[in-house]
Structure 1
């Protein structure tokens, strides 16, 4: 019988993190980290992009996809960091992170390999830590995403598309959407059953869909409240998913080949739950709270 993973609290309070960083002081070197600070109303991203591009030629029966993340803030930040997740048919295939100090921009690029027709989905979080003075730290954030259907068939040349233009592409889109959706739904329902969660009580958002709510937050959320929730959520995802999944045995499991997380948000209870399954199929529940207005 597979063991459940212990419920793990993602975030405490932003104030606690702020206190710790103030104690560190300006003389200490910056280090890779995503910490939610109050959002800086004056800092804006001039661009924030994630792009998938299929390379035309196969290598050792595998195709290669170029994966690029880039962003530019309208000012230099004490710390700039972008992180990204890349999923093949709902499973984490690769992750990427780059950080630099005292700059306004980040550009990072990698390649990923695949062998079968797949739905590729990627999401990035663009983060800036801004020091207005020695006592005032703020942050700026943005998200971007991309998806690509790659068709690797013995009956046609290697190809890709974002939106179908032909009946054949329509058919492939339907197949890959169905296969990916069914597998993810199975994993999420399994996890909800394990942890006795009533999904009807929550707003359910697959991680890849999170950017869709940036300009229009879910009903019941003011933009400022939603942006704070998203910032704290990504801090938790970075520490407890990107860097590794802590198991009930106290080990850190590699997130590669884990399922895409499902975000469950309870507007009335202030609960945010993150459901996923590991490579081995074990359900994982991450949890945090947000203040209910």
Structure 2
């Protein structure tokens, strides 16, 4: 029998803590699910990518952006699954998930539409569940991201860029960064006030920035400690964000149009928090305990 227990604490807008245990038994059939198992030291990703590309022509007065997630493991895995989130100006516009059994690779693609100049940010988690035998399950993981500035203006042709090359693009970058960041920062600060969280005590990481730590963990973490934290974090994000946000009333709401999650890590106490803001502006707090890194 395979079993795994994980404790996830969720606090709704009323500040009430709800605690439950998730217990998953062995199921011989492959199923769509991200479960963190000990990391496999012999498995690695040959490639793991997220790519946003603007289509040249509009459709029904909307521009279209192609969103592609690909990854290749260096061996076949019992279960391969990639999930991704796409944000327009800090709001979740689309999400994507694909899984395959007994393969080394995943390719998934979608199209998102927009009407105004926007900062598009996509982040993906690449996951593999590897079976040595019925009693030996391990996992492999990676993350990737991409961002694209799309300029949809009456005064210039439809265009996009990742890094600004001209004065005009630098101006657009400043404007779009400000639009997205002000809204996010305002909501994150209000959420922290709601839950009496002192932001200065935590390492604050917007979800889109997590892949920046793929090869360089935050200060205080070893690579192994950080990767274990990331694996458990994405398991929680999949169950409590990708599949729906559970509010304090017990209602599960679609995450589409919610704001980008903010991850808060306090190394000295082993607290891992995730701040969510639903489409309706309701705050939700996810909390996990993590092993405190050794000095």
User: TM bucket by the smaller chain?
Assistant: over 0.9
| Mapped contact 2:15–2:195 kept (Cα < 8 A) | no
Greater RCO (Cα-Cα under 8 Å, separation 6 or more): 1
Does residue 4 (structure 1) correspond to residue 14 (structure 2)? The answer is: yes
Q: 1:222 — aligned with what?
A: 222
| Mapped contact 2:47–2:71 kept (Cα < 8 A) | yes
Does residue 78 (structure 1) correspond to residue 78 (structure 2)? The answer is: yes
Q: 1:131 — aligned with what?
A: 131
Alignment coverage as a number of residue pairs = 282
| Mapped contact 2:13–2:284 kept (Cα < 8 A) | no
SS across alignment from 1:156: coil
Structure that is richer in strand per residue: 2
Distance 2:127 2:13 in 1: 35
SS across alignment from 1:96: strand
What are the Cα deviations for residues 172-220 of structure 1, in whole angstroms up to 9, with x where unaligned? 0000001111110001001001111111110000110011111111111
The runs of at least 4 aligned residues of structure 1 exceeding 6 Å deviation read none
Does residue 236 (structure 1) correspond to residue 246 (structure 2)? The answer is: no
| Mapped contact 1:48–1:143 kept (Cα < 8 A) | yes
TM-score (norm 2): 0.93
Deviation at 1:61, TM superposition (A): 1.2
| Mapped contact 1:8–1:287 kept (Cα < 8 A) | no
Does residue 43 (structure 1) correspond to residue 43 (structure 2)? The answer is: yes
Q: 1:106 — aligned with what?
A: 106
Label 1:159 to 1:136 Cα distance change in 2 as closer, same or farther (>3 A): same
What are the Cα deviations for residues 98-123 of structure 1, in whole angstroms up to 9, with x where unaligned? 00100000000000000000000000
* Alignment RMSD (CA, Å): 1.5
Label 1:77 to 1:51 Cα distance change in 2 as closer, same or farther (>3 A): same
| Mapped contact 2:131–2:138 kept (Cα < 8 A) | yes
Distance 2:170 2:281 in 1: 31
Label 1:9 to 1:263 Cα distance change in 2 as closer, same or farther (>3 A): farther
Distance 1:6 1:238 in 2: 22
Deviates more, 1:246-255 or 1:233-242: 246-255
Deviation at 1:4, TM superposition (A): 3.3
SS across alignment from 2:235: helix
TM-score (norm 1): 0.93
Point out where structure 2 has 5 or more consecutive residues left out of the alignment: 1-11
